[in-house]
């Protein structure tokens, strides 16, 4: 009887300690504002490494003027012809979370673009937020009509409104013989542009609404994309 009494007492103490420990954890979580509704899991809305032999259902070809759009050996390649324009499915962005778009891209010519709502007047969206290797006429850029003939070339980044007026733009120098990681980070009230994880600029800008990822190559020179990743956190 004595042994059974000790065992029951041990079980009671063990259960009590578990309950107390759980209450302490819940109290700490409550004090720190940690609630299930506030936890947003990392969600790769679009992840494409182009490992197949054709574009997946995540993408649609908007235009292809006598060019070649192909998927092979882990690359999406847009070359030859003129307008070769690929769009993703539409993503809805509420503006109160962090949205990161990145891609590893080999840029070898001008009129090559990557980002959200490329040329918003054509995509029908309120704002375009993207990279471009061509600087539009009428704006002060280092190399307005780059033909990518040298090792170092200029890539531009834009925020445009739906009339294609530039809200903000800047530039950076890249090499045309290697892949670069282009990244756009959208947070509440801010948009950041990065190349190879180097911050180019963080711009105060608020956007809410539909987004489409655009991969454009409007000239014969080749443009190759190794992967595209869209993350919501």
Q: Which two tokens stand for residue 21?
A: 């420990």
Map tokens 């809305």 to a residue: 45
Rg (CA), the chain: 25
The predicted-structure confidence for 125-177, as pLDDT tens digits, reads as follows 889 999 998 876 666 666 555 556 666 778 889 898 887 777 778 888 888 78
Co-location of 126 and 87 in the same domain:
yes
pLDDT beneath 70, residues of the chain: 1-44, 123, 136-151
Looking at the chain, the number of H-run helices and the number of E-run strands are 2, 17
Co-location of 31 and 48 in the same domain:
no
Q: Which two tokens stand for residue 111?
A: 């009129």
Co-location of 18 and 60 in the same domain:
no
d(CA 198, CA 201): 9
Co-location of 45 and 119 in the same domain:
yes
d(CA 70, CA 115): 20
**What is the domain count for the chain?**
2
Co-location of 18 and 77 in the same domain:
no
3-class SS of residue 36: helix
Under a CB-based contact definition with an 8 Å cutoff, are residues 80 and 190 in contact? no
d(CA 142, CA 159): 18
Q: What is the pLDDT of residue 120?
A: 86
Degrees to nearest 5, angle at CA 220 with 109 and 73: 85
Across the strands, what pairs with 228? 48, 103
- Rounded to two decimals, the pTM is 0.78
Q: What is the pLDDT of residue 3?
A: 45
Co-location of 132 and 162 in the same domain:
yes
Q: What is the pLDDT of residue 197?
A: 95
Co-location of 175 and 152 in the same domain:
yes
Q: What is the pLDDT of residue 39?
A: 31
Domain encompassing residue 8: 2-36
């Amino acid at each position: 009887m004595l042994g059974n009494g000790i065992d029951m007492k041990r079980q009671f103490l063990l259960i009590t300690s578990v309950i107390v420990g759980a209450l302490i954890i819940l109290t700490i979580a409550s004090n720190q504002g940690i609630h299930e509704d506030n936890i947003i899991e990392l969600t790769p809305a679009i992840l494409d490494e182009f490992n197949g032999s054709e574009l997946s259902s995540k993408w649609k070809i908007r235009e292809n003027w006598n060019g070649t759009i192909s998927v092979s050996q882990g690359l999406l390649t847009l070359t030859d012809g003129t307008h070769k324009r690929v769009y993703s499915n539409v993503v809805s962005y509420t503006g109160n979370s962090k949205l990161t778009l990145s891609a590893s891209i080999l840029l070898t010519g001008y009129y090559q673009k990557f980002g959200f709502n490329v040329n918003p007047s054509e995509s029908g969206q309120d704002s375009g937020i993207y990279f471009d290797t061509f600087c539009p006429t009428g704006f002060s850029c280092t190399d307005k009509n780059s033909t990518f003939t040298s090792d170092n070339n200029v890539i531009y980044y834009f925020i445009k409104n739906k009339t294609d007026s530039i809200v903000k733009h800047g530039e950076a120098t890249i090499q045309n013989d290697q892949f670069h990681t282009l990244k756009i980070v959208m947070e509440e009230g801010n948009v950041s542009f990065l190349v190879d994880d180097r911050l180019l600029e963080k711009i105060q800008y608020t956007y809410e609404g539909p987004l489409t990822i655009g991969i454009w190559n409007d000239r014969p020179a080749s443009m190759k994309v190794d992967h595209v990743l869209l993350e919501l956190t």
